[in-house]
């Protein structure tokens, strides 16, 4: 069972909570137990699991990633000016593996699943597969 989701990002860098999108799909499909893999289909956008109660955590993460990999809208060797976005995606990762139990994602009290945009705004896609 799998699905391709579309997502429109609105900023150059942002973290979009996709937890409810995934959970709603799990519920609609009647999945009770299994392993779920969620994957970004882009080299400049990743997937992570992190704090979902305090919005300042997202801000802090994006700020710190910018400190490590500063974004400058200038040409780099491959000509697109988005090397920092590629580095951020490699650091965050392009996918996450999650457990489904009793029809729900197994996440900690404060955890959520995020699509991490590092080169937007753009139309993006992420793929979800349940095994």
CATH for 28: 2.60.120.460
Question: Angle at which helices 55-68 and 83-92 pack, to 10 degrees?
Answer: 120
Question: pLDDT per residue over 66-86, tens digit each?
Answer: 999 987 765 666 567 789 999
Q: Is the dihedral of CA 40, 46, 48, 52 positive or negative?
A: negative
Percent of the chain predicted with pLDDT > 90: 88
Q: Total structural domains in the chain?
A: 1
Is the pLDDT reported for residue 21 higher than 90?
A: yes
Is the pLDDT score of 35 beyond 70? yes
Is the pLDDT assigned to residue 51 strictly greater than 80? yes
Residue 112 pLDDT class (50, 70, 90 cuts): very high
Coil vs helix vs strand at 107: coil
Predicted confidence at residue 80, as pLDDT, reads 72
Q: CB burial class (10 A; 0-12, 13-18, 19+) of residue 94? A: middle
- Which pLDDT belongs to residue 123? 98
- pLDDT reported for residue 62: 96
Task: Give the strands of the sheet with 95-101, arranged side by side.
Answer: 2-8, 123-130, 34-40, 95-101, 104-105
Q: Find out whether 9 and 129 touch, Cβ atoms under 8 Å.
A: no
pLDDT at 81: 75
Tell me the whole-structure pTM to 2 decimals.
Answer: 0.93
Which range of residues forms the domain containing residue 70? Answer: 2-130
Instruction: Categorize the per-residue pLDDT at 88 as very low, low, confident or very high, splitting at 50, 70 and 90.
Output: very high
Tokens of 29: 């499909």
Of 9, 20, 13, 3, whose CA–CA distance to 124 is shortest? 9
């Amino acid at each position: 069972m799998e699905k391709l989701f579309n997502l429109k990002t609105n900023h150059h860098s942002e973290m979009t909570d996709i937890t409810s999108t995934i959970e709603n799909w799990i519920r609609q499909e009647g999945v009770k137990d299994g392993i779920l893999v969620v994957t970004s289909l882009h080299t400049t956008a990743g997937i992570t699991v992190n704090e979902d109660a305090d919005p300042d955590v997202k801000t802090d993460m994006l700020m710190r990633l910018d400190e490590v990999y500063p974004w400058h809208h200038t040409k780099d060797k491959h000509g697109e000016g988005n090397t920092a976005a590629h580095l951020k995606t490699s650091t965050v990762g392009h996918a996450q593996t999650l457990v489904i139990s009793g029809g729900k994602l197994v996440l900690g009290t404060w955890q959520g699943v995020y699509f991490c945009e590092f080169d937007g705004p753009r139309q993006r896609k992420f793929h979800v597969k349940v095994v």
